[in-house]
Structure 1
Amino acid sequence: MAKTLLEQLRTMTTVVADTGDIDAIEKVKPQDATTNPSLITAAAQMPQYQQIVDDTLLEAKKTVGEDASDEEVAKEAFKHLAIAFGKKILKVIPGRVSTEVDARLSYDSEKTMQQARDIIKLYEAAGVSKDRILIKIASTWEGIKAAEQLEKEGIHCNLTLLFGIHQAVACAEAKVTLISPFVGRILDWYKKDTGRDYQGAEDPGVQSVTTIYNYYKHFGYKTVVMGASFRNIGEIRELAGSDLLTISPNLLHELESVQEELPRKLDPEKAKSLSIEKINIDKETFEKMHAADRMAHDKLKEGIEGFSKALETLEQLLAKRVAEISDKAVAAK
């Protein structure tokens, strides 16, 4: 019997589920899982996870004190909620979960490091080893520098919202564990900018990740590449062989339903034989390249704003829920 695309993909690439929905993760059985504020916000509104949300809010209320406002409790609760989902996810996967630092700290190295250490402490207090956690940080210069220090402390990082080769090179030089270049968001930008569609190998998101993968393997960097944010399975086919790919449950199901040959497109041995020029990166070069790359500039800014907005939405939802729990407690007395 012919093998599915997903079965073949798993022979050359580590498959990661891109969702906060634990039920969906159980169904698709990925090696790792990754979440972000938008995914946690969506999961937090599902009825089956209401108990996790309520327990987390009560825990956060204890941490900040009974006299704290609903808003203060909600702010504290986000970190705990991401960890509560992370802990549940780790029970159903063999590998690692990515937990994101507050996107509003993306241009502050010190605060990013502080929150990353707090997240690791909370996981360790719950009996979860830091080796099973990736701290997700936006690929700003400040985020990359924070990750460089965290890696020296044994805290593994996943650098997200990555759109340009300058970000990728800076991450590799900083010895971060993993990067998540955003394939679909790159495609979105080019479609809007040029007014045309792209298929297969001409997809600009596919081309970007291919360039980064080949650069890393050619120069022997240890940082691994995890393609993210896919719009269709055509993009996934073109990146078969990438170290990891993080894929939404609906696309994982689609890969599982197709039985066709899946040729390997990315290969470390082939990358070694390519002629690739080395890029020397420092803050000035990074900023210059970032300003010159309209797509990377636009998408990084938009991504940070989007994740920040998702966090604000989640905090509002949590504040509302705190008020409801308090009202119930008062009524029960």
Structure 2
Amino acid sequence: MTLLESLKRYTIVVADTGDIEAIAKHKPQDATTNPSLLFHAAQMPAYRHFVDECAKIAGKVGGGHERMAEEFIDRLFVMFGCEILKVVPGRVSTEVPARLSFDTAGTIEKAHKLISLYKEKGVDQECILIKIASTWEGIRAAELLEKEGIHCNLTLLFSFAQAVACAEAGVRLISPFVGRIYDWYKKEHGGSEIPADQDPGVASVARIYNYYKKYGYKTQIMGASFRNVNQIIRLAGSDLLTISPELLGQLEQQEGTMERSLSPETAKASQEERLHLDEKSFRWMHNEDAMATEKLAEGIRKFNSDARHLQEFALSTVAQKIA
């Protein structure tokens, strides 16, 4: 048995890539995408026909270059999402632009647009997770979308406050960023490696998992942003884990079995008290976590930068089509 096969006994494995061939190779249950992943995938010769088709459609919408670029990006996300769903039996996460991270109404509007494009392609919305930044505004948008039956993946999650608020809002899934949490604490320690049994990213996900299971929340936990296989091993039993093709390959190449690290039974022993957060208490609790405050802001800026690269690519591609 490989480590990947062993992991799948406890945890739903999700591929963190826009490369459809890589997804098909590793046979995950679900897949996640983001602007950076799609920017790189869109430049691969194998997917050039997707780019051309989206550019052709976007070129017909009118309304100026920025409007056409936005249409191109929406169509490209959905095009890749549809192709990914041909090789995974579960769901694909499709991201709302980071520039809408503090815009509840704008996030809801974009989610509706993406779902409508998927429906045009004949894809049931149960197969889609709308990926939204875990700001207070994003969580509120997700709460309303979930009530409509549109399920959400709350990303850029670093603090316990974010996790509690997401659970109380009834979102379908959260993505705590294990590796980015680790990176922050490693830098704080002068760049030295942190012992595996003291990994703060792993500890963060374990704390959230235990809290959710102890108090019966239905929100699923999907650890994300891994730096090494050991982090994955220590979170075996999490509802889901989204893993890069490189680390999926390492798990496939190693023989062995994993012991389950997280389980609903052990979660019952958690000493965490149940919290109820309004906006003021959420913002204060999140603000008190220096790591989470910095990494959320940094993550939004980075995702927005990636989106701008994709927008520049879109503008160039559409301009070529309408020239």
TM-score interval for Structure 1 and Structure 2 normalised by the shorter chain: over 0.9
TM superposition score normalised by structure 1: 0.95
Preserved CA contact (<8 Å) 1:168 1:212: yes
How many angstroms apart in 1 are the aligned matches of 2:280 and 2:270?
Answer: 28
Residue matched to 1:4: 2
Aligned to 1:157: 152
For residues 93 and 284 of structure 2, the distance between their equivalents in structure 1, rounded to whole angstroms, comes to 30
Deviation, 1:70, is 3.6
Large movers: runs of 4+ above 4 Å? none
Quote how far apart the aligned CAs of 1:198 are: 1.4
Paired position in structure 1 for 2:240:
244
Counterpart residue number, 1:259: 255
Q: Percent identity?
A: 57
Question: What is the root-mean-square deviation of aligned Cα atoms in Å?
Answer: 1.0
The 8 Å contact of residues 199 and 234 in structure 1, kept in 2 or not, is answered as: no
User: 2:59 is matched with which residue: 51, 58, 61?
Assistant: 61
The count of residues paired between Structure 1 and Structure 2 equals: 322
1:41-52 alignment runs, 5 A limit:
41-52=39-50
What residue number does 1:38 align with?
36
1:261 and 1:95 mapped to 2: Cα distance? 25
Aligned residue in 1 for 2:287: 291
The question of whether the paired residues in 2 share the 8 Å contact of 1:97 and 1:133 is answered with: yes
Aligned to 1:197: 193
User: 1:163 Cα deviation (Å)?
Assistant: 0.3
- What do residues 63-103 of structure 1 show as CA deviations (whole Å, max 9, x unaligned)? x22xx444431122111110000000001110000000011
2:185 aligned with 1:183: no
Where does the alignment leave 5 or more consecutive residues of structure 1 unmatched? 328-333
Match of 1:306 in 2: 302
Measure the CA separation in 2 of the matches of 1:176 and 1:14.
18
* Counterpart contact for 1:43–1:49, Cα < 8 Å: yes
CA distance in structure 2 between the aligned counterparts of 1:69 and 1:282, rounded to whole angstroms? 41
Provide Cα deviations, 1:25-45, integer angstroms capped at 9, x if missing partner. Answer: 111110000001111111111
1:12-161 to 2 correspondences below 5 Å? 12-62=10-60, 64-65=61-62, 68-161=63-156
Deviation at 1:302, TM superposition (A): 0.7
Matches for 1:222-237 after TM superposition, within 5 Å: 222-237=218-233
Higher Cα Rg: structure 1 or 2?
Answer: 1
For residue 279 of structure 1, give the secondary structure of its aligned residue in structure 2.
coil
Separation in 2 of the partners of 1:72 and 1:154?
28
- Gaps of at least 5 residues in structure 2 are none
Partner SS for 1:222: coil
Counterpart-to-counterpart distance in 2, 1:280 and 1:318:
43
Task: Please report how far the alpha carbon of residue 326 of structure 1 lies from its aligned counterpart in structure 2 after TM superposition.
Answer: 3.1
Partners of 2:100 and 2:106 within 8 A in 1? yes
Cα distance in 1 between the residues matched to 2:195 and 2:123 = 42
Q: Quote how far apart the aligned CAs of 1:323 are.
A: 2.3
| 1:97 and 1:134 in contact (8 A); partners too | yes
Q: Displacement, 1:149?
A: 0.4
Q: Between 240-249 and 314-323, report the one with greater CA deviation.
A: 314-323
Question: Could you give the per-residue CA deviations for residues 257-307 of structure 1, whole angstroms, max 9, x where no partner exists?
Answer: 111231110011110132221122110011101111111001111111111
Q: What's 1:331 paired with? A: none
State the TM-score, normalized to the length of structure 2. 0.98
Q: 1:269 aligns with which of 242, 265, 275?
A: 265
**1:71–1:316: 8 Å Cα contact kept in structure 2?**
no
